Structure 1
């Protein structure tokens, strides 16, 4: 048996601290590609917009900017030595942070910043707000612990008044983020990305800010529209004994007002409401005052939209998604929310809004926000621009280690509460493709009870087809949900019909199109299928024509994968840097118009149209230049990419080898990234370069990522040629990998463990797997570890 080994785990790196923070100025780190907004980012203007548009007060201070940071072993609680400066709120792994370092499960991240105590009037309090910190956070002010929070996607606030001193104060955070090695929801972040997984985000990744509030103040709002009754249901969390006065405005015109007690259910009448929809995203302004003894003691500004989402039968008796009591086809796309320069964090607020504008300019009316929760301002832009949002819950750790279910439910509850007020969000998505699925009926009914104002996609892609093959059966699919949702790659399919549920195709497409010089990974162009730029439009149009046929049969919505390339995936309608649109915006709108005829105002966005010249002709011209003697590094790198697209594997190897042969140490980070992408085997010229200069490559790539790359090269170059047949000669393979030290030993043990497991050779499996777990258990995904250990326990 020939086994293909996939490695997705990281181990610890040694800790080195550098005490020269004051000498370091901010500089964005190198990255393969970047967006147009990255150059606008500086310590003076890092995301300066008010971060909470639905509860606005004037007296606030933005703490984004340069902080000090240090990475230490997780168990080190002694004095922290600063390693340098980090630009908050960009995650430490991102180029925009100025650091671009991995945070591993056995490490912790410290942040430090000094701030001046603001002037506080008698009784006023100072609240410290965090948009999001991934994952477990402890907060200190002047060395005193003032609060803690667990959860990578939820905002939290701490009253720090009692810890303040006059003048300067020291704020410090301690963060632990085990990513996919922990019990918390982590989305598509993994420590060693591959295919559908991406570079992780750790630590602060949304705005940090302070706000001065009265001693008794408004803490939270809960707003739920009811268009059938012409009401906004409103609850304001504030101290008991206070009164609430809420006033709605249409521009400067007062619509209505209501007065009632804090914490009680209030109803704000909105007669003949202007309804919110993607083609007409009208929002009412809202002023909320807190009164005590007849005096206003606090006031916030907000907004709301009057809209209704439901499942109902159309005139022919077909169950469909209804918006504002009318059938409404949800024409959507799967948005990951990743950025080449900021990872989870958009470079600027303009960039954050651009994604929604671009998707609307393509002619979509729906975004499925895929297993990520965005900052509040993203949903604000969706509300203002007019975009329906299907909001995924962030999936639990798929291995469901002990504690992961409880953490998933806690963080999901926080997600629903935090996002409740946005009219753009019309659907919750509980699970995606069985990723960590459990207790589906109970959890579906829980979500519907907590928020009956929205529809529930209880399981997006519980039935998943790839090339018309069903991945796994589901005997009780879509229990207690409001829709049936099939995933089909590449071509869309009709989901199954169940009474009372709408039918949707929750993912399809994934057409990979390679755009040279706009790639995160130059040696890879992943998609479920590959097309050349000139052929994409026809293929995409045909897919949408099939959607039109399905819509006549009862299909209520569809989600195309995806609007933007992400890291190694090049199946977006735009490139990852948001620079090239692969089908012109106007052409996309024509394709989408039959399913989305009322698009409303189209935002103005700019991007280059893709070059539709046959890639083989472009590559052939480069090959002529190569024959004529052209050998500069930039040319060779591009030639290798073009050869890959043209399907000339020998040409790609030729150009990649020539590119590497021309390199001289010390290499730039960009060169090292290219070497690692072009090097797939110990037989490739880049292997010797990476092996000889291990320290430099480890520093650039991260220690564990480097080790995994070397392991995969050893596998391909040394082991696979010896693994043909059902009975590999493990002694010969061991001899072949011995010169490569620990990476060779680890990949050998992994290959033997998987090989014996697949053959059910338990006599050899038990000692081999036991040795693998003992020596390298820290590198293994939790679900794999549990599987390997269970087999050991059963057969020893």
Structure 2
């Protein structure tokens, strides 16, 4: 049987495929689809016996498996409380002696189930999978009534996680019936080793004592194992081992899986389970003479390029509408060149984990947190649910790490704070007793699963207790600030250091990794919806500078309802990073290469025209692919000269590529152009066959010091500042980027008074060309209505929506949406040219708009830029201007507004330039 097979007649059902491809049986019935539903705000259902005949009065319909709060459920109500479900089902297994199980992927939070008015069982916990044996209550050849009561009151002790984006109320993962023989496999855990040894810990439920055979067949029968058993009645723990010859190891680059089956034969019948495993080992190790460890995959260092995934869908919330969309999620991550993902404050659906296994991406899986005090009730509920999650997901080779807590959420004891003295009270109310409980949880998780890295608490308050991995969070904007911060963390990380630890605990030699970063919170009031490409590139260069660091988690994979720092929009549309403008063919994936060239320099530096600059470089390698080979570093210095791409210099350096980690390379000495320009140093690391391994770049704001700039152009230039207009007619007008950008919206014109050189300076003027950088001007709410922006509070962290267009930092990053405008150029009122401005973009191409930001924690239309517009003045008008030597220049925008960029804004270092000759 193929993993992921759908049940017969289920093609029209939502999520028709088998929910657990890691543990699948042939005989099953999908129960997704329409169920009868009703709310129970007064909790009358039990006393009025809604699980019986009264269930026929359920007035609404709900689509399972979608949370009743989500649009896809058909209910779309965020009402907390109690919901009742009813479904009539007629189904029987092929073998009438088989036992029948009703299985739930997850129900939030407490669930009671009745079959034909018989109470079958209760389960509490919003994320764990569970099942009930319904054999004795099920009727053959007759309709069976299934009634489910789900209760979700958001109690403080509930492990809720970050549900503010969309509540997972009631049934929110698939439901199905499954047949098993009288004796069956309850579960099996596979522990793999690189040498091919596979240890299996299986649990078998036997209806009677006696002999049985457990058989394994994988890789189309190439891997086989058989063990004879003497089973006792009830649950039996069985341990066995087998070896895979010439094992194919699992990794993100080669995600090899061994598909196959487990078969239990005996007096209780034949139970056949389809499953798979991947052979890989996760660990940490010392390399060379380093006093700190790196994370390893299959015995080799792995640099973890990762992202934070809220795993949120706008219509299904935490439930994806289709299996294809889960597959696409992993594919989109791989497309970015990422090799791992941190699933944030929730365990992932098993089918998405299946695609992570199959397509190849490492997963750091968080336990969901509770939001109340860490009292005994919360602790017990948390431990019960965490065990369900670890047991359920143990066999996924993609999962390399369990994160037990995040940012001390749920670990602060607010109710006791007022009764404690200042000596007893720890900052944030993270009490010593709770710290010890966290240590206990870390060790407990290590006992449950010694094969993976376990983190106690992913911290933003420097409060580790005991952990396999030393991580920290930061949200800081600005090159100098990021550089200083990362260097400080690295310097304070060494065995015995108390830095990043709490309660007298100290660091071991555990690997250092960032587990959350970005600029979404690194700006006053939040970054709003702004460019992240500029920040991202220099941040990754800073990370790769440090030999001690072994990875990062960027916030985040997609935009969500209140955070817009994603690689993609929430709907999956691309954002335009613009890197290809600097280095042909460059994408964000170049920054994620395991073999990387670090440019140890600011993203842009101001330099004197004609000067020679030294650019420090580092080699960073976390792959042995090219060890022992000679690679080439090809570099090129180019600049744009008023629309012409000029290559000023280029060269190549041979590199012997050996050894893991970071080491210095000889700096590049490059001569800058002898004129005003944005100069780009573009580099490529080339394999011996000429294939590009990685790309990178840095930029220079080259200045001549001349009043109107110096350019390699025939004739002279008169420059006029964009804010130096004599009048305008826009209903909305303001200047930005320290007066270097003039904005007008929606329709209107800027008027400039232009004076050409006199006869004494230029006897005759024959040709005139007008040049300027312009973009459309998208008006935001703050531009048209003003008003005070309310800074987000804690509820924002829980998913509260943001007033994005009032956020002073918002300037939409370039994406698939376009904002077009038309600009007409007039000389003394006569139109001479019309330009269609396709967009109002902002990304890494807005070099000067980033370089001249006055404050790192406040964004002033950062990254915005325009298009170079060049209008030749007709000869007849040029002849008139030869006589008058002055004119009015009108730049008129139709509908879409107009943004004009001056010398220190945009991507072209010019003001409004009038070239004459």
TM norm structure 2: 0.56
Say if 2:32 and 2:176, in contact at 8 Å, map to a contact too: yes
Q: Which residue of the partner structure matches residue 69 of structure 2? A: 93
The answer to whether the aligner puts 1:61 opposite 2:29 as a matched pair is: yes
| Contact 1:373 1:394 (C-alpha < 8 Å) held by counterparts | yes
State the partner residue of 1:590.
590
Q: How does 1:148-159 map to 2 (within 5 A)?
A: 148-159=122-133
Give the Å deviation of 1:75.
2.4
Identify the residue that residue 38 of structure 2 maps to in structure 1. Answer: 70
Higher strand share: 2
Does the 8 A contact of 1:279 with 1:386 survive in 2? yes
Question: Which residue of 1 is the match for residue 212 of structure 2?
Answer: 243
Which residue in the other structure is 2:185 paired with?
218
1:312 aligns with 285
What's the CA shift string for 1:477-501, capped at 9, x where partnerless? 342x111111111347345333331
Where 1:358 maps in the other structure, the secondary structure is helix
User: Offset at 1:590?
Assistant: 1.0
Render the CA deviation track for 1:640-680: whole Å, top value 9, x for unaligned.
Answer: x9544xxx7251459x9xxxxxxxxxxxxxxxx99999999
| Residues 1:331 and 1:677: Cα distance change in structure 2 (over 3 Å) | closer
Post-superposition offset of 1:112:
0.8
Contact 2:302 2:623 in 1 (8 A): no
CA separation of 1:363/1:402 partners in 2, compared to 1, >3 Å: closer, same or farther?
same
Selected match of 2:79 from 74, 99, 103:
103
After superposition, the Cα gap between the structure-2 partners of 1:241 and 1:310, relative to the gap in structure 1 and judged at 3 Å, is farther
- Cα deviation digits, residues 344-398 of structure 1 (max 9, x gap): 1011111111111111111110111111112211111000011111111111234
Displacement of 1:146: 1.0
Change (3 A) 1:584 1:389: farther
Is the CA contact 2:125–2:385 (under 8 Å) kept in the aligned structure 1? yes
Structure 2 distance, partners of 1:426, 1:364, is: 15
2:476 matched to 1:500? Answer: no
Encode CA deviations 1:272-293: one digit per residue, 9 max, x unaligned: 3111111001011232111116
Q: CA deviation at 1:571?
A: 1.4
Change (3 A) 1:547 1:290: same
* Superposition pairs of residues 354-369 of structure 1, within 5 angstroms: 354-369=328-343
- In 2, Cα distance between the equivalents of 1:408 and 1:324? 32
The gaps in structure 2 that reach 5 residues or longer are 1-9, 49-53, 230-235, 412-433, 477-481, 495-506, 580-585, 597-621, 626-733, 751-776, 790-799, 808-917
Cα deviation per residue 1:449-479 (whole Å; 9 max; x = unaligned)? Answer: 1111111111212xx2xxxxxxx454xx342
CA contact (8 A) 1:511 1:527 kept: no
Q: Is the 8 A contact 2:284 2:294 kept in 1?
A: yes
Q: Aligned residues, how many? A: 555
Partner SS for 2:132: strand
Q: What is the CA–CA distance in structure 2 between the aligned matches of 1:44 and 1:341, rounded to whole Å?
A: 18
Is 1:331 aligned to residue 305 of structure 2? yes
User: Structure 1 residues 622, 213: CA separation in 2 closer, same or farther (over 3 Å shift)?
Assistant: farther
Considering fraction of residues, name the structure with more helix: 1
Q: Kindly indicate whether the alpha-carbon contact (under 8 Å) linking 2:247 and 2:279 is maintained by their aligned counterparts in 1.
A: yes
Number of the residue aligned with 1:509: 518
Counterpart of 1:457 (choices 455, 459, 463) is: 455
Query: Structure 1 residues 255, 382: CA separation in 2 closer, same or farther (over 3 Å shift)?
Result: same
1:301 aligns with 2:434: no
Aligned to 1:721: none
Against the structure 1 CA distance between its residues 568 and 583, is the aligned structure 2 distance closer, same or farther, given a 3 Å change threshold?
A: same
Task: State the partner residue of 1:484.
Answer: 470
* Conservation of the 8 A alpha-carbon contact between 2:27 and 2:93: no
| CA shift in 2, pair 1:599/1:92, >3 Å | farther
Deviation (angstroms), 1:178: 1.5
Deviations 1:403-455 (A, max 9, x none): 11110111111111111111111111111111123312111111111111111
| In structure 2, C-alpha distance between the alignment counterparts of 1:333 and 1:271, rounded to whole Å | 35
* Superposed CA offset, 1:209-257 (max 9, x none): 111221222221111112246334342433253534333433x351232
Q: Tell whether the 8 Å contact from 2:400 to 2:453 is kept in structure 1 after alignment.
A: yes
Q: Is the 8 A contact 1:53 1:377 kept in 2?
A: yes
Shift of 1:400: 2.9
Find the residue that maps to 2:457 and give its secondary structure: strand
Q: Which residue of 2 aligns with 1:201?
A: 168
1:698 — aligned with what?
Answer: none
Moved more, 313-322 or 333-342: 313-322
Q: Which runs of 5+ in 1 are unaligned?
A: 1-41, 190-196, 465-471, 514-524, 601-613, 628-640, 657-672, 681-796
In structure 2, C-alpha distance between the alignment counterparts of 1:285 and 1:675, rounded to whole Å: 46
> Hey, what does 1:555 align to over in structure 2?
549
Partner of 2:405, secondary structure, is strand
Structure 2 CA distance for partners of 1:45 and 1:615, relative to 1, 3 Å = farther
Partner of 2:782: 649
Aligned residue in 1 for 2:441: 443
Structure exhibiting the larger radius of gyration computed from Cα positions: 2
Cα gap change, 1:526 to 1:113, in 2 (>3 Å): farther
Q: Partners in 1 of 2:179 and 2:735 — Cα distance?
A: 59
Aligned to 1:178: 153
What displacement does 1:599 show? 13
Q: In 2 relative to 1, CA 598–377 (structure 1 residues): closer, same or farther, beyond 3 Å?
A: farther
* Residue 236 to residue 284, structure 1, CA distance change in 2 (3 Å): farther
Check whether the contact 1:334–1:369 (CA below 8 A) recurs between aligned residues. Answer: yes
Distance 2:35 2:749 in 1: 48
Matches within 5 A, 1:736-755: none
| Matches of 1:134 and 1:619, distance apart in 2 | 53
Quote how far apart the aligned CAs of 1:537 are.
2.1
Q: 1:539 to 1:415 in 2, by over 3 A?
A: same
Please tell me the root mean square deviation across aligned C-alpha atoms, in Å: 3.4
* 1:259 alignment partner, SS class: strand
Higher relative contact order (CA 8 A, sep 6+): 1
Instruction: Check conservation: 1:43, 1:66, Cα contact below 8 A.
Output: no
CA apart distance, 1:587: 0.8
The answer as to whether partners of 2:107 and 2:170 remain within 8 angstroms in 1 is: yes
- Note the C-alpha offset of 1:584: 7.3
CA contact (8 A) 1:93 1:202 kept: yes
Q: Which of 536, 543, 558 is the equivalent residue of 2:539?
A: 543
Give SS of 1:210's match: strand
Q: Closer, same or farther in 2 for the Cα pair 1:354/1:512, shift >3 Å?
A: farther
Of residues 282-291 and 233-242 in structure 1, the stretch that sits farther from structure 2 once superposed is: 233-242
**Inter-partner Cα distance in structure 1 for 2:212 and 2:527:** 60
Closer, same or farther: CA 119–313 of 1 in aligned 2, 3 Å: closer
Is 1:351 the equivalent of 2:325? yes
Contact 1:532 / 1:615 at 8 angstroms: preserved in 2? no
Going from structure 1 to structure 2, the CA distance change for 1:473 and 1:539 (only over 3 Å counts) comes to closer
Return closer, same or farther for 1:59/1:589 CA change in 2, 3 Å cut-off: same
Question: What is aligned with 2:659?
Answer: none
C-alpha deviation, 1:543, in angstroms? 0.6
Cα deviation 1:575-622 (Å, max 9, x = unaligned): 11112334379611112114687799xxxxxxxxxxxxx999999675
**1:231 has 2:198 as partner:** yes
Q: Do structure 1's residue 48 and structure 2's residue 34 form an aligned pair? A: no
**Does residue 570 of structure 2 align to residue 576 of structure 1?**
yes
8 Å CA contact 1:244, 1:288 repeated in 2 = no
| Distance in 1 between residues matched to 2:274 and 2:359, nearest whole Å | 19
Look up the SS of the partner of 1:380 in the other structure.
Answer: helix
8 A contact 1:390–1:426 mirrored in 2: yes
Q: 1:598 to 1:87 in 2, by over 3 A?
A: farther
C-alpha distance in 2 between matches for 1:500 and 1:405 = 29
The separation in 2 between residues aligned to 1:272 and 1:527, in whole angstroms, is 56
Note closer, same or farther for the CA distance 1:63–1:620 as it changes in structure 2 (3 Å cut).
farther
